Amino acid sequence: MNEHLIVLDLDGTLLTDEKKISALTKETLLKAKEAGHQVMIATGRPYRASQLYYQELSLTTPIVNFNGALIHHPKNPMWKTIHTTVNLSVVHDVVESVHKYEYDNLIAEVMDDVYLHREDEGVLQLLHMGNPNILTGDLKNTLKEDPTSLLIQADDVNTPIIRKHLQDVHAELIEHRRWGAPFPIIEIVHKGLSKAVGIDYIAKEMGIPRERIIAFGDEDNDLEMIEYAGVGVAMSNGIDDLKSIANEITLSNNEDGIGKFLQDRLKL
């Protein structure tokens, strides 16, 4: 069978609700690699919070982090890293404009440096993976360089209100996506970025055409990726908007959805 590129979102997709890779799915992905297919991760997480799973699957491929803001190759320092930041003045404008709405916190990330607007133990637990440098204080004073991403934490009532504001006022300069559980988060990155941008770049480097890309996702930040892939697969636990554009729907992240789909599709 021709070489395929298998693209994996992490939370709600590759990972079970316990943040584990199930035995069957792991075994299937390893078999796919042995059969000559390429396996990669595309996630909204920073690399420090996805490295564990990259290593568990013994990957040797590039990875897409921060929903396309960072495209790099952990195993090959000669591979050109693409790091696209949000202009600091734009971030300050966004921060200033969302103050009139109800939100819980603001978090800016500059690679592995994290800037927390308000101290919050729950958010610190979310961010602790990979031991980032964390600085707490008003972002207008603490953030001095263009960040990789800006996160707005707000409840389910205020999240759509803030997103509408971002779309109405800042759409020409930023992209914004919603995270799912356990925290309702709006992630902001540079305009034009998505997981699909990173996958397209990597696939071309590998010489794998779109029709041989199989991508799995479940959330708002997977929409472009699922639409771009030759075979876009939504998890059954995914959002309805994603299922409506997917080529296929597989079992949930807790039911070996990825493993069972690949066993059937790639005859593993």
The reply to whether 264 belongs to the active site is no
Q: Give residue 177's pLDDT.
A: 87
Which regions of the chain does DSSP assign to beta strands (E)? 5-8, 38-41, 63-65, 70-72, 82-83, 105-110, 113-116, 133-136, 149-153, 174-179, 185-190, 213-217, 231-235, 248-250
Q: Token digits for 47?
A: 């690399």
Q: What is the torsional sign of CA 41, 47, 49, 53? A: positive
Q: Tell me the per-residue pLDDT of 233-249, one tens digit each, with 9 for 90 and over.
A: 999 999 999 999 999 99
Distance CA 248, CA 213 (A): 13
User: 214 pairs with which residues across the strands?
Assistant: 6, 231
Q: Give residue 196's pLDDT.
A: 98
Where residue 42 falls (left for φ over 0; alpha for ψ -120 to 50; beta otherwise) is: beta
Cα distances (Å, whole numbers) of residue 52 to 15, 112, 124, 174: 12, 15, 19, 29
pTM, entire model: 0.93
3-state SS, one letter per residue, for 45-98: CCHHHCHHHHHHCCCCCCEEEHHHCEEECCCCCCCCCEECCCCHHHHHHHHHHH
Q: Give residue 96's pLDDT.
A: 87
Nearest Cα residue to 120 out of 109, 104, 132: 104
Distance CA 151, CA 127 (A): 11
Nearest Cα residue to 63 out of 53, 73, 55: 73
118 DSSP assignment: S
Q: Give me the amino acid identity at 186.
A: I
**Strongest mean pLDDT among 68-72, 174-178, 180-184:** 68-72
Mean pLDDT computed over every residue of the chain: 93
Q: Tell me the per-residue pLDDT of 94-133, one tens digit each, with 9 for 90 and over.
A: 988 888 888 989 999 998 899 999 888 777 777 777 788 9
Give me the mean pLDDT over the 155-162 stretch.
88
Q: Which of 9, 200, 220, 222 is catalytic?
A: 9
Q: Give residue 183's pLDDT.
A: 67
Distance CA 82, CA 72 (A): 6
Distance CA 263, CA 206 (A): 23
